[in-house]
Amino acid sequence: MISFTIKNVMIAVDNDYATVDVQIVDGAIAAISPNLQVIGTAIDGKNKLLLPGFFNAHTHSSEMWQRGIMSVFPLELWLAELYDFAPLDTEKVYLSALGTAVETLLSGGTSVVDHLVLIPGLELETIAIATRAYREVGIRAFIAPLIQDESLSAGMPSGESAQSHEPYFRSTAATLEIIEEAVRQFHRPDEGVSILVAPTGIQLCTDALFKGCIELSDRYNLCRHSHLLETKAQEKLAQEKYGCTAVEHLKRIGFLSDRTTLAHCVWLNDADIAILAETQSTVVHNPLSNLRLGSGIAPILKYRQAGVNVTFGCDGASSNDSQDLLEAIKIGSILHNVTDSDYQHWITPRQAIEMASLGGAKGFNLADKLGSLTVGKQADLVLYDLTNLSLLPRTDPIGLLVLGRPSNVVDSAWVNGKQIVADGKVTTINVDDLRQELFNRSQWETKRKSETVAQIEAHYRIVMGL
Amino acid sequence: MISFTIKNVMIAVDNDYATVDVQIVDGAIAAISPNLQVIGTAIDGKNKLLLPGFFNAHTHSSEMWQRGIMSVFPLELWLAELYDFAPLDTEKVYLSALGTAVETLLSGGTSVVDHLVLIPGLELETIAIATRAYREVGIRAFIAPLIQDESLSAGMPSGESAQSHEPYFRSTAATLEIIEEAVRQFHRPDEGVSILVAPTGIQLCTDALFKGCIELSDRYNLCRHSHLLETKAQEKLAQEKYGCTAVEHLKRIGFLSDRTTLAHCVWLNDADIAILAETQSTVVHNPLSNLRLGSGIAPILKYRQAGVNVTFGCDGASSNDSQDLLEAIKIGSILHNVTDSDYQHWITPRQAIEMASLGGAKGFNLADKLGSLTVGKQADLVLYDLTNLSLLPRTDPIGLLVLGRPSNVVDSAWVNGKQIVADGKVTTINVDDLRQELFNRSQWETKRKSETVAQIEAHYRIVMGL
C-alpha cells in the first residue's frame, strides 16, 4: 500500500491556481483540498506545481542508437537509411528503452508508447527486454510491437512504373501469432505494461494483417496503434492501393475506434477528419519529426475544431532527435499559429497540458483512470520545481512550462503512486551507469552511406516530381 | 594576457572531426594542431567538442519579466499587452539582462544582441544598466537601443478607416541625441560592448529617424539593426505608407548594407530577397517567436539560395519564451523542411552551426575576428560535454547538438579568451543569487486583462479580415 501526502502544492483550477494538499492512498488520489491530514510520507510541495503525467504517445525506442546521425532526408529515404544501420541486439534495445524512459520522465511524461521495432527472429525477445526495461524504470508502458507484412519497397508509390516487391520474410499468420503470444506473456495493464496491436501503417500492411489485429484487439481488449498518412507519398500510395483515402479504407475495414491512436495524420482531408471524429479515434501529433522529415504540418487546429482527440509524441529519436516531451508539446502547440490567422483558434498552454495528459488517457482507453488530478484516479503525477531559472521570473507556471524551454524542472514523478523520480533524479535505475553503457557501446562518426538509399533515390525523386 | 591550451579536443573539419590541441594566446587563437605545447593553463578537451560561440542575434532582454504570461496573440495585439505591463525600473532591466546572458551562454551563445526596450525618461540609464550587466557576465554584447518616433497605434494598417495617431512623446532629434550620447559613453567594441543604431522598424519610425540612424552609423562606424516585415499587417502597412514594399523603401533611403541585420523577414517577396542579397544585408531568423505570434514561416531556404546571410535569434522572452539558442537553431533549421519538398535544399546541422556562428559574425561586421575556429581570430569559444545523456549514444556530435534537445551540455565558454563558464556554471556572477532576485521580484499570476487590447482588438480583426 503506497500512501503519501503532498503539502502546499500549486495545482491548476479553472483559469487559476490553488495551493492545496493532495493525499495519495494505495496508489490513487484520495483527496485534494487545503489543510489535509498527512497520510503516509509528507512531501513538501512549496514553490512546486503538480500536474498529471503526460503521455509520450508515439516513439520507437531503439532509434536512440541512430539519433544525431541520420541524413536530412524525407521519410521514405530516411527509413531506408535507418534500416541499413539498425541495431540488432537485445542489449541495445534494453539500453535505448531505458534511455527513452528516462528522457520522457524528466520532461514530464509518466507513460510511454513504444512502437517497438522488432529484431527479426528475436521478436518475443525484443518485446521481453523492452518490457523489462520499462518495468525497471517504473514508467507506465504501452508496448506496440511494430509489425508489417510487406517489404519496405512496397511503401513507396510506384507512379507510372510497374514495381514488384519481394515478399516479406515472415507470413501474416506468423506475425499475428507473435503478437498473441506477446499478449499472453506481457500484457499486464494492472502492473503498468500493456501490449497494443500496432501495424506500422497502410504503406506496409495488407488488409489481412489489419483484420488480424482488429480480431486480437477485440478478443483481448487491446488498444490499436498505427502510423497514418505521415507523408504525401503515403497519400499517393493509398490512392494507388485502395482507390480511396487511407482513412476511408481503415474505416471500412473497422480499424478506427475510440481506442485507436494514429501517429502523424499529416495528409488528411476534411472528409477524413470527419471520419476520425465520428469513430472517436485519437491523433498522436509528432510535430518535431514531421518537421525534421519534411512530412508537413498536421492540421491540428482542424482536428480540434472537429472534435478529434489529439495528444503528443516525440516520435523515435532518429527523427526528432530527442525524447523531450515538453519540447514536443511546445512546438506542437505554437507551430499551428501559422496555419490559421485567427488567434482565437490557437492552442493555449492549458489546452496543451490537457492534450498531453487527458488526451493521452482518452486515446489509450484510460480516461476514467488517468490524465487529470481527480479524486479516484491513479496517481501518475509530476511535480515541477518552479524555482528553476528557466521558470523564472514567476509569472504563469503553465505558460512558462509550455512556452519556455524548461530544463531540470521535474522534481518528482510517480506512476501508480510509486515514486520513480525524486530531487530531479530517477530513483529506480542508475542513470550514470546507463550513460556509461550508451557511451561504451557507441562511437562518434560522421555521415554514413546507405546502400538502399543509393538504390531507391532516383525512383523516389521521379515519383515525387523532384 | 590570457593564455591557455585546450588538449585533445574534437573540432569539426570538412565533413569530419579531428582531435587536436588549441592554443589561445592573449585572447586569440594562436594554433590548432595535434600535439601542441601547453601555453598557459591546460584544459582537458577529452570527450568534448569545441565550436565557435554562437550569436543570439536578436532579443529584447527585459521581456523576460513577462515570459510565460503573455496571451496567445498575434504581434500587434501582443505588443499592446506587452506595453501595458512593461516593467519600468532599471533594477529589473539589470536582472533580466543578466538572465538573458546566462541562458544564452548556457546554450552555446557568446554574443547577445539586445534590442533593448528603453524606459521613457531613463533612456541612458537603461542602456547603462544593461551594459553593466553584460560586462559583469562577460558575454559579448551588442546593445541596440530600441527607438521609434511614432506612437504604437501607428503600427497597425488603417485599412479603410482614417486613423489619426497621437504624436510620440519624444522628438526624433531628441531620440537621435540619446543614441549619440550612448555611443559616446558605452560603445567600446574592443571591450566587448557595441552600440547599434536600431530603429524598431518601418511600422513605428519616420524616414527622418531612419536617416538620422544611417548618419550616426556612418559617422561612428556602427552596425544597424531593425525589425523587418515580421507580420502580414506590416506588409499591408508598408504599402499604405510608402506605396512599395518595405524593403524597396529601406533600400531607397540607404538603410540596407553589409552591416545591417534585419530581424524576422517573414513577408518578403522574391524582388525583396534579391535586394537583401545585393545589399549584403543579414536576416536574423527568430523561428520560435514567428510561430508563437503566428507571424509566419520566414522563407529561409530562399534566402540561402539567393545568397543572403542568415543567422539566428531567440527574440525576446515574451514571444518565445526562452533564451535557449540551441532550441532556436534546431527549430530554425528543421522548420523549413516543410516549405520545400526537395530535401537537397534543407539545412544540415553543420550549415546551421555555421549560420549561428559565422553568420552572426558577418552580420555584425566581424567576420574577420569571430565566427570560426581560425588561427588569428578572437577566442569566443564554447566547449560541449559529449558525455551528457542528451548527447548519447555517441553518433555525430554536431547532429546531436543541433537536432537533439541538449541540456546542461555547455562545459566551458570563453569570450575574447576570458573563461566565463567552467564545469557547466557561469563563473562571473552568482546565478543562485540571480534566481533568488528574479523569484523575489515577481509573483505567480494568471492571465491579465490588457486595456489597450480591449480598445484595439475590434479594429485589428476588421483590418485583418477576421
Residues B247 and A360: their CA atoms lie apart, in Å, by: 46
Cβ contact A139:A102 at 8 Å: no
**Largest Cα–Cα distance in chain A?**
73
B449 CA: distance to closest CA in chain A (Å): 13
Cα(A231)–Cα(B341) distance, integer angstroms:
11
Chain A CB contacts of B68 under 8 Å are: 391, 395-397, 399-401, 403-404
CA-CA-CA-CA torsion sign (A134, A135, A140, A142): positive
A335 chain-B contacts, CB cut-off 8 A:
291
Least Cα distance to B413 among B366, B379, B375 occurs for B379
Listed in sequence order, the residues at least 6 apart from A396 whose beta carbon sits closer than 8 Å to its beta carbon are: A349, B68, B69, B444, B445, B446, B447
pLDDT of residue B161: 62
CATH number belonging to domain A53-363: 3.20.20.140
Question: If we measure between CA atoms, which residue out of B252, B174, B189 comes closest to residue B221?
Answer: B189
The arrangement of strands across the sheet holding A260-264 comes to: A224-228, A260-264, A282-285, A309-312
> Per-residue DSSP letters for A188-251?
BGGGTEEE-B-B--TTT--HHHHHHHHHHHHHHT--EEEEE--SHHHHHHHHHHHSS-HHHHHH
Q: What is the pLDDT of residue A298?
A: 98
Would you state the cell numbers that stand for residue B223, as one nine-digit string? 552596425
B334 and A CB contact within 8 Å? yes
Out of B347, B405, B443, closest to residue A394 by CB = B443
CB atoms within 10 A of CB A449: 9
Averaged pLDDT, groups of 10, chain B, 466 residues long: 93 95 97 97 98 98 97 95 89 98 98 97 98 98 97 78 78 98 98 98 96 98 98 93 97 98 98 98 98 98 98 97 97 98 97 98 98 98 98 98 97 98 98 98 91 94 91
d(CA B316, CA B66): 10
Q: How far apart are alpha carbons A192 and A195 in whole angstroms? A: 10
Beta-carbon separation of B65 and A393 below 8 A: yes
For A58-117, write each residue's pLDDT tens digit. Answer: 999 999 999 999 999 999 999 999 999 987 799 999 999 999 999 999 999 999 999 999
pLDDT at position A40 over 80: yes
Tell me if chain A has a CB within 8 Å of the CB of B396: yes
Strands (E) in A47-178, as ranges, are 48-52, 54-59, 109-117, 140-146
Q: Which residues of A touch B72 (CB under 8 A)?
A: 337, 343, 346-349
Option in B16, B67, B388 nearest A400 (CB): B67
Cβ neighbours around B158 below 10 Å, total:
17
Chain B, 235-254: which have a CB under 8 Å from a chain A CB?
none
Give the three-state DSSP class for A12: strand
Q: Which three cell numbers stand for residue B267?
A: 513577408
| Mean pLDDT (whole number) for A12-19 | 95
Q: Which three cell numbers stand for residue B67?
A: 515570459
Q: Give the three-class secondary structure for A435.
A: helix
* Mean pLDDT computed over every residue of chain B: 96
Sequential DSSP letters for B351-406: HHHHHHHHHHHHHTT-TTTSSS--TTSB--EEEEETTSGGG-S-S-HHHHHHHS--
Count CB atoms within 10 A of the CB of residue A18.
13
Residues of A in contact with B300 (CB under 8 A): none
pLDDT for B160 equals 61
pLDDT in tens, A278-315: 999 999 999 999 999 999 999 999 999 999 999 999 99
From CA B126, how far away is CA B128, in angstroms rounded? Answer: 5
Contacts with A392 from chain B: Cβ below 8 Å: 99, 435, 438-439, 442
Contacts of A72 in chain B (CB under 8 A): 337, 343, 346-349
Give the 3-state secondary structure of residue A161. coil
For chain A, give the mean pLDDT. Answer: 96
The region of weakest confidence among A1-5, A7-11, A406-410, B332-336 is: A1-5
Q: Is the pLDDT of residue A163 over 80?
A: no
Phi, psi of A7 (to 5 degrees): -100, 140
Residue in A closest to B399 by C-alpha: A68
- Inspect the interface and report whether the beta carbons of B391 and A442 lie closer than 8 Å: no
**Closest Cβ–Cβ partner in B322, B388, B396 for A68:** B396
Rounded Cα gap, residues B238 and B157, in angstroms: 8
Cell numbers at A26, concatenated: 494505495
Residues of chain A with CATH 3.20.20.140: 53-363
pLDDT at A263: 98
Report the distance separating Cα B397 and Cα B350, nearest Å. Answer: 10
Q: Are B158 and B216 in contact (CB under 8 A)?
A: no
Q: In A, which residues are within 8 Å of B67 by CB distance?
A: 393, 395, 399-400, 403-404
Q: How distant, in Å, are the alpha carbons of A86, A101, A296, B107 from that of B399?
A: 18, 22, 21, 15
pLDDT for the residue A162? 61
| Residue contact A405–B341, C-beta within 8 A | no
- Among A275, A273, A267, A281, smallest CA distance to A230 is for A267
B-chain CB neighbours of A399 within 8 Å are 67-70, 321
User: Side chain identity at A364, as an amino acid letter?
Assistant: F
Nearest 5°: CA angle at A276, between A275 and A282? 170
Interchain CB contact of A385 with B (< 8 Å): no
- What's the grid cell of residue B65? 519579466
Measured CA to CA, the distance from residue A253 to residue A268 in angstroms comes to: 18
**Considering CB atoms only, which of B64, B391, B466 is closest to A342?**
B466
Closest CA relative to residue B15, chosen from B453, B443, B348, B357? B348
Q: Where in chain A is the domain with CATH 2.30.40.10?
A: 3-51+372-428
pLDDT at residue A160 in the model? 61
CA–CA dist A401, A386 (Å, integer): 9
Instruction: Please tell me if residue A10 touches chain B, with a CB cutoff of 8 Å.
Output: yes
Q: Give B90-130 as a DSSP string.
A: HHHHHHHHHHHHHHHHTTTEEEEEEEEEPPTT-HHHHHHHH
**Which residues on A lie below 8 Å from B288 (Cβ)?**
334
Instruction: Give B229 to chain A, closest Cα distance, Å.
Output: 15
Name the DSSP letter for residue A338: G
- Helix, strand or coil, per DSSP, at residue A149: coil
Write out chain B residues lying below 8 Å of A348, CB-based: 72
Give the number of C-alpha atoms closer than 13 A to the C-alpha of residue B299, restricted to the C-beta side: 16
B168: phi then psi, degrees, rounded to nearest 5: -70, 150
Q: Could you report the predicted ipTM of this complex, rounded to two decimals? A: 0.97
The residue among A413, A382, A417 whose CA lies nearest residue A397 is: A382
**A322 touches A290 (CB < 8 A):** no
CATH 2.30.40.10 domain position(s) in chain B: 3-51+378-426
A174 Cβ contact list (under 8 Å, min separation 6) = none
Closest to A312 (Cα-Cα) out of A333, A334, A293: A333
Test the B interface: residue of A318, A446, A461 with most B CBs within 10 Å: A446
Q: Name residues whose C-beta falls within 8 Å of residue A126's C-beta, 6 or more positions apart in sequence.
A: A90, A93, A116, A117, A118, A119, A145
For domain B3-51+378-426, the CATH architecture is Roll (2.30)
| B389·A103 Cβ contact <8 A | yes
Cβ-based neighbour number of residue B443 at 10 Å: 9
CB contact under 8 A, B444 and A395: yes
Confidence of residue A153 (pLDDT cuts 50, 70, 90): confident
Q: How far apart are CA B289 and CA B230, in angstroms?
A: 10
Q: Domain A3-51+372-428 adopts which CATH fold?
A: Urease, subunit C; domain 1 (2.30.40)
Q: Does A282 touch chain B (CB under 8 A)?
A: no
Q: What is the pLDDT of residues B340-367, one digit of tens each?
A: 999 999 999 999 999 999 999 999 999 9
Looking up cell 539566428 gives B312
Cell numbers describing residue B282: 543579414
Q: Residue A96's closest chain B neighbor by CA?
A: B393
- Distance between CA A287 and CA A292 in Å, rounded? 9
Rounded to whole angstroms, the Cα distance separating A326 from A56 reads 10
- Would you say the pTM of this structure is higher than 0.80? yes
